[in-house]
Structure 1
Amino acid sequence: MIEIIKGTEVGRYADEMDQAYRLRHTVFVEEMGWTDLAKPDRREIDQFDDEHALHMIYRRDGEVVGYQRMLPTTRPHLLSHVLPELCEVERPVGDHIWEWTRYSVRKPFRGGGRGLSPAANMLLSAIVEWGMDTGVDRMIIEMDPIWLLRLVQLHFLVEPLGIPRTVGSASVVAVAAKFDRRTLTMLRDLRGDHRSVLRSTPELEIEGAVS
C-alpha cells in the first residue's frame, strides 16, 4: 500500500521520511550523478520539501522501497524555479495540476526492460487515485524522453512542453500528462488487481482551491 504524507505531517513519520530522503540520495546522487544534490548525511532534501509538498511512500516489510513527491504548481516548483528552460510554451499552472518529482525505487524492485515494474505501477496508481479524489487531473514531469511512449501506452494524454535538453549528463523533457479513469483502469488491469493502492485517502487541501 502507498502512504500519503502531507508536508505538514512529516514530523510524525520521521523514520519513513528518513528512509525516503536516503533513497533519494542513493538514486539521484550516487546512481544518477547529480552531485549538486549531495549531502554529508546522505539525505537528499531540497527547498521544495516544505509544508506544501505531498510525499507518497511505498513500504515492504517496514522498508521504504519506493517514493515520489508531488508539488503544487501554484507555488514554486522545479519547472518554475530550477528548470524553466525546459518549458517553451505557457507554463501549466492551476489547482488541478501538480508536479511529479523525486520518483525513486530501490534496485531490487525496479524490474527489467522497459516494462512497468509492480512498484512503479503502485506509485503511478497512487497519483491517479489521489488525483481523482482531490480534483487533480494533470501532472508536470521532467523525465527521460524514452518515457513518452510508455505514458501514452498507459493512457496518459501527454503534451510536451519543449524539446529535450541535456541536464547534467541526461536528456530531459518536460511534459504535462493528463489522466482519468481510463488511466487508472489500464494500470489496474496491468497489475491484475482493481483494489485501491492507497493505505488511506486523507482529506487533502488543494493549494488555492475554494473551500
Structure 2
Amino acid sequence: MLKVTTPGTEPDAALLRAMFAARKAVFIDLLGWDLPVLAGQYEMDQFDDEHARYLILSDNGDHLASARLLPTTRQGILSGLFPMLCAGPVPCAPDTFEITRFCLDRSLNARERRDVRNSLVHALATFAIEAGISRYCAVAGLGWFRQIERFGWSCRALGAPIRTGGQELVGLEIGITADTPQLLEAAGIHCGHGDNRAKAKPGSLPAGHKEWH
C-alpha cells in the first residue's frame, strides 16, 4: 500500500514514526551519516517540516520504503548543501521537487529490496503526474546515479561528479511526462511488490546499498 502525506493532510502518525526510525537505521546506523537524531530513535532534520511530502510503501502498517519530496522553491539539500554539483543554476520551480531520503527498510532481503525499490520509483513517477510535477532533482552517489539513469526515464547529471565526504556525488535531474510510467515498466521497473515477504536476518543488508540524500 502506498501512503502519501502532503502538506495539509492528516498524517498517519504511527507510519511516520516507522519511516523516521527506518531512516535512522539506514542513514545513521548503517551508512554512518552525521545527522540529527530525535529521542534516540528517529532521523529527522530541518527539512522535515510542513512543506515536505512523503511517499511511504507499507505492508500492514510496516514500513517497506519511503521517499521525501521537497519543494525547490525553498532551500533543500541540493540548493542548500550541494549547489556545487550543478554546472548551471540549481533547479528551482513550482513544478520541480527534490527527491531526498530514498529509504529501503533494512528488514528486507535482496529480492524484496529490488521489488520495493521498483515500486517506489514507479510511485514517484505516477505521483508526479497526478500532482503536476514535471521534474525531479536529487543528490546521489555516482554508482547509484548510474543505476538511476538506466531505469528508463529521462535522467541526466546536472554537472560533473564531485568527491566530497569520502564519496563521489552527482546532482541529477529527472524529467516526468505522461509516458514515464510506461518507460519505467519497459525497463523492468514495475509497481507491484509481493505481500509475502521472507525476512532477512535482523540488521542484514545486501551489498551495494545506496540512497538518495
Q: Normalised by the size of structure 1, how large is the TM-score?
A: 0.80
Gaps of 5+ in 2: 193-213
Residues of 1 paired with 2:172 and 2:190: CA distance? 28
Tell me which residue corresponds to 1:156: 153
More helix per residue: 1
Task: Figure out how many residues of one structure are paired with residues of the other and give that number.
Answer: 190
The alpha carbon displacement at 1:66 in A equals 0.7
C-alpha displacement at 1:148, in angstroms? 3.4
Larger deviation, residues 117-126 vs 165-174: 165-174
How much does 1:31 deviate? 0.9
Partner of 1:125: 122
In structure 1, the residue corresponding to 2:174 is in which secondary structure?
Answer: strand
CA contact (8 A) 2:68 2:99 kept: yes
Gaps of 5+ in 1: 195-211
Residue in 2 that maps onto 1:43: 42
Counterpart among 160, 170, 178 of residue 173 in structure 1? 170
Residues of 2 paired with 1:130 and 1:6: CA distance? Answer: 11
Structure-2 residue corresponding to 1:56: 55
SS at match of 2:147: helix
The code of the aligned residue for 2:183 comes to M
8 Å CA contact retained: 1:109, 1:119: no
Inter-partner Cα distance in structure 1 for 2:61 and 2:55? 15
For the residue of structure 2 that corresponds to 1:70, the secondary structure is strand
Q: Supply the AA of the counterpart residue of 2:169.
A: V
2:158 and 2:172 in contact (8 A); partners too: yes
Counterpart for residue 87 of structure 2: 88
- Check whether the contact 2:118–2:190 (CA below 8 A) recurs between aligned residues: no
Q: 1:67-117 deviations in whole A, cap 9, x for unaligned?
A: 1000111111111112222222111111121000001011343626xxx81
Change (3 A) 1:62 1:80: same
Shift of 1:46: 0.9
Matched letter for residue 137 of structure 1: S
Asked whether the 8 Å contact 1:53–1:70 carries over to 2, the reply is yes
* Pairing partner for 1:138 from 132, 135, 151: 135
Which residue does the alignment assign to 2:195?
none
SS in structure 1 opposite 2:142?
Answer: coil
On the 8 A contact 1:160/1:176 being kept in 2, the answer is yes
Residue 77 of structure 1 aligns to which amino acid in structure 2?
A: G
Change in CA separation of 1:17 and 1:193 when aligned onto 2, cut-off 3 Å: closer
Distance 1:162 1:55 in 2: 27
Q: What root-mean-square deviation, in Å, do the aligned CA atoms of Structure 1 and Structure 2 show?
A: 2.2
- Superposed, 1:106-125 pairs within 5 Å as 106-109=105-108, 111=110, 117-125=114-122
The answer to whether the Cα contact below 8 Å between 2:157 and 2:173 also exists between their aligned partners in 1 is yes
Q: Aligned with 1:51: secondary structure? A: coil
**Counterpart position of 2:4:** 4
Aligned match of 1:31 = 30
- AA at the equivalent of 2:66: Y
